[in-house]
Amino acid sequence: MDYSIDTLDDIAKQVAAVMQNAMEKQKESNQPINIRGIETTMRKMLRQIGAEALEQVLSSSPEPPALTIACPCGGKLKYQRRRSAKVISVFGRVTYERDYYAGCQCGKGYAPVDERYGLQPGKVTAGLAALVGLAGVEFSFEHSQEWLQTFLLFEVSENTVRAETETLGALALAGDLAQSQSSQNEAYLQERLRDVVAVPPRLYGSIDAAKVRIEPRKQAEKQEKNEAWRDMKVGCWYETEEVSPKRCSTRERAKQERDAVIYRAKNIRYYCDIAEASEFGKLMWGQGCREQADWARELIFVCDGATWIWKLVEQYYPQAVQIVDWYHAEERLERVAQEAFPNRAMREAWLKETQSSLWEGQVAEVIQRCDRLAPKCAEAQHAVTYFTHNESRMHYDKFRAAGYLIGSGTVESGCKQIVTERLKRSGAQWLVAGAVQTAKARAVWLSGRWEALCARRDTLPLAI
């Protein structure tokens, strides 16, 4: 929207004059004046001005109302009267007057201004919903209420925070389902072939999972105080960039001694769900179609060694380069060394030599070294199976030579940010729907797509 700078200057001068007058009165009463007090008072004043201005905008009716208008059902509505309504905006509660129509056989009333601006009387506006939902994905619903009151200078209930966050999450869920369904449709796939798009030269994918505590719903479970933990599966698509020595973090500088070249993920897009692997695979494929993963010149999956993950990758992206996260493999050797060698010097010597073999892609040598320990070491037995099953995914020498990222820290960070930091707060307990909706909304925010999601919230059908 365009507005006149000169007009704003005039308004600013009026606000400043009111503020100066208030400060003079405070000075006369010997009350201290500081910048925080000035800012807070001015924020309160501007909030009140905004509320009154919004009320006037919504109440304005430049033309006389029509006597009859078409009803959304196809019938006719008759003009009744000017009728008041309330909404909760970014400026607080606003009451406005608008033309109201009724008398159709469908029995529903209609207010054109509500339709025009997407207003639902008694509910929050789309602008406030975006802020409330953002607070809900960042903090617990209880703390979101406190945080919002500090910044908005009025109270928004905890239930409103929950409702708006889950509404946005439900929209994200609906979008995911629509994308998954489209990606299973042959006509959609053929349409993509006709649509020329920018093909990513090198694209990465990663998948992982983290546990979420789900509230028992059956009475017997509640009485037994059983806790149900479900896997929140998290996936992401991303690209990488080489990090110059000057831009390296402290952790990256430590890695640089061995890795020589440091890569960092960029343009990360997350997706998530509580679903069986087969259903999550459909989500992965659908999200991949949106990112043109199936068209990428190079597609690389970096994940841990979970069997269900690699089955999905092989089913949907058989052309992809498969890499088992280096740090999981390295950690597996550390567990073997810890159990097999009580003597520290022997433990460190074996671990150093074996890790060096793994770093150079000599997986067969690693398997042999673990196999020699297997008769007396359970961890070594497990390691033999692990490295044997993933041998083709551990050619780290070739992967490094190709400039591939070999760590799955990107998706692990996604699990931490989506699940640990939001869903696993102290005392948090969820229903499946609430956990999924909140997680999906947070995934959208972390992926840099918040505005697009909020734009869909703007156009929700109204409850007449």
44-76: per-residue pLDDT in tens?
Answer: 999 999 999 999 999 998 889 999 999 989 999
What are the helix and strand counts (H, E) for the chain? 19, 8
* pLDDT grade for 188, boundaries at 50, 70 and 90: confident
- What is the 3-class SS of 197-249, one letter each residue? CCCCCEEEEEEEEEEEEECCCCHHHHHCCCCEEEEEEEEEEEEEEEECHHHCC
| Long-range Cβ pairs for the range 385-391 (8 Å, 24+) | 386/305, 386/329, 386/332, 387/329, 387/332, 387/363, 389/305, 389/307, 390/305, 390/324, 390/329, 391/363, 391/364, 391/367
Angle between helices 363-373 and 344-359 (to 10 degrees): 150
Contacts of 328 (CB under 8 A, 6+ apart): 304, 305, 408
Residue 24 pLDDT class (50, 70, 90 cuts) = confident
Per-residue model confidence as pLDDT tens digits over 239-279:
999 887 666 655 555 555 556 678 899 999 999 999 999 99
pLDDT, tens digit (0-9, with 9 covering 90-100), for 369-393: 999 999 999 999 999 999 999 999 9
- Residue 152 CA to residue 244 CA, distance in Å, equals 41
Place of tokens 């607080």: 92
| pLDDT confidence tier of residue 464, bands split at 50, 70 and 90 | very low
What's the whole-number mean pLDDT along residues 336-353?
A: 96
Residues 435, 424 contacting (CB under 8 angstroms): no
> 67 in helix, strand or coil?
coil
Q: How confident is the model at residue 352 (pLDDT cuts 50, 70, 90)?
A: very high
Instruction: Please write the tens of the pLDDT for every residue from 101-127.
Output: 999 999 999 999 999 999 999 999 999
Q: What is the mean pLDDT of the chain?
A: 91
* Distance (Å, whole) CA 166 – CA 160: 10
